Amino acid sequence: LQKVHVLPQTVLYIADAETFSGHEECHEQKKARKRNSKETALALEKLLPKRCQVLGLVTPGIVVTPMGSSSNQPQEIEEGEAGFALLFPKIDGVKIHTFHFSKDVKNRVFDESKFAEAGLKNNPDLRVVLLFGYNSWKTGATRFLHQIVNPLNEKSIILAGGQVESFTSLTSENNHAQPGDACGVVGLAFSGPQIQSATVLLDQDVADERTAEAAMQRLKAANIPEHNTIGFMFACVGRGYRHYKTKRNMEADAFRKFFPNVPLFGFFGHGEIGCDRIVTGNFVLRECNDIKDDLLHGYTTVMTLIHLGSAK
């Protein structure tokens, strides 16, 4: 900590399930692992400033660019323990905040006034929303996700994300926000007039190096500035080396070919959120087709760029 010169204001950390749960299978050990997950999350948060917003996710696999240089080779880690943390300091002209919507078993209709309370409506500076559904296997989880995604499906906002296994942290003041049997959505919202973003969808037909690179060319054509920019990859657990016939790291390699100095982070999950959507510098959407955007997918990959403005 003595070497830290800029303290983080918002932290997104993602680890694969093995990192948090280990390999034991007996019932009693599963109880112990759940306690250990909370302890691990608390230990991580104790390293951060008390007022820091924290969002921690658990996923089946990880996409990470090893620290040290943004030009390092991004890696798709589908098996074994892995994780990363993105630490966002205070950035002039940019506001990043966490949010959480959980399904109310008593009400089938979501109260959309909660969007405004979370800064997701009536916010002219809102540019990007990263959404992560959890406990997607629960009855009503898909319907609830639609209730969150559909009202946010606006031309001036980039939506991207996916279905995770669980979340371990929401903020440093609220470590136990997730009831064990609940389902819902957590996420990060990026607001600021200087933010630029774009997403492309790699569907099931993207199954070789040529078609993967063609998708990255579409993303490159958005002309998003690449300095002070982060790449996110949200992929289905059914893709990766299985989808590409045992060739590993295909999509991360294709991304690096076109964006050699943009670090790439993300995960393999149980469903993807996003579409082909490219927003120009004056934030007018350039539509890829005339069909209303379908944002919920399976067996796909969503690639996203978020530019946070000129670094000072």
Q: What is the largest CA-CA distance in the chain?
A: 56
d(CA 256, CA 98): 28
| Domain boundaries, given as residue ranges, for the chain | 196-307
pLDDT of residue 172: 41
What would be the CATH architecture of the domain defined by 196-307?
A: 2-Layer Sandwich (3.30)
Band (289; pLDDT cuts 50, 70, 90): very low
Mean pLDDT, rounded, for 59-85: 86
Instruction: Of 236, 263, 237, 238, give the one whose Cα is nearest residue 252.
Output: 263
Handedness of CA 222, 225, 227, 228 (dihedral sign): negative
Contact 219, 279 (CB under 8 A): no
User: How does 204-219 read in b/e, with b if 16+ C-beta sit within 10 Å?
Assistant: eebeeeeebbebbebb
DSSP string covering 148-164, please? Answer: HHHHH--TT-EEEEEE-
What value does the mean pLDDT of the chain take? 83
Which pLDDT band holds residue 4 (cuts at 50, 70, 90)? Answer: low
Average pLDDT over residues 116-143: 91
Tell me the two tokens of residue 42.
Answer: 């608390």
Phi and psi based region of residue 119 (left: phi greater than 0; alpha: psi -120 to 50; beta: remaining): left
Task: Find the Cα–Cα–Cα–Cα dihedral 104, 108, 111, 112, rounded to 10°.
Answer: 120
pLDDT at residue number 163 = 95
Amino acid at 16: D
